[in-house]
Amino acid sequence: MKEFALLFDALGHERRIHIITEMVNANTTELSFGELAGRTGISEAGLTHHLKMMRKGGLIRSRPRGRKTMLSLESSKTKRAMAELGLL
């Protein structure tokens, strides 16, 4: 049950759905934090908050690459959740 609660928290905001949609539509396996901020139009502080919730829910992962933070979807879990909700 806790896993589902975290998943719903991760998907429970319009901007988080927008983040996932932009990452899927980017046609790449990962985006830098700056690229994602530019694609979504979400402030850095807001994006940081939403990404934290999405990481807790297991939808997204991050890794350092030099001075950048690279973000990618946990594709099987994210796509399954989005498909179940009729968003993909």
> Tens digit of pLDDT for each residue in 4-48?
777 777 888 899 989 988 988 888 889 999 999 999 999 999 999
User: What Cα–Cα distance (Å) separates residue 53 from each residue in 10, 12, 42, 49?
Assistant: 5, 10, 15, 7
The structure's pTM equals: 0.80
Which domains does the chain carry? 2-84 (1.10.10.10)
- CA 46 to the chain's CA centroid: 13
Q: Which two three-digit tokens encode residue 37?
A: 């901020």
The per-residue pLDDT for 88 is 64
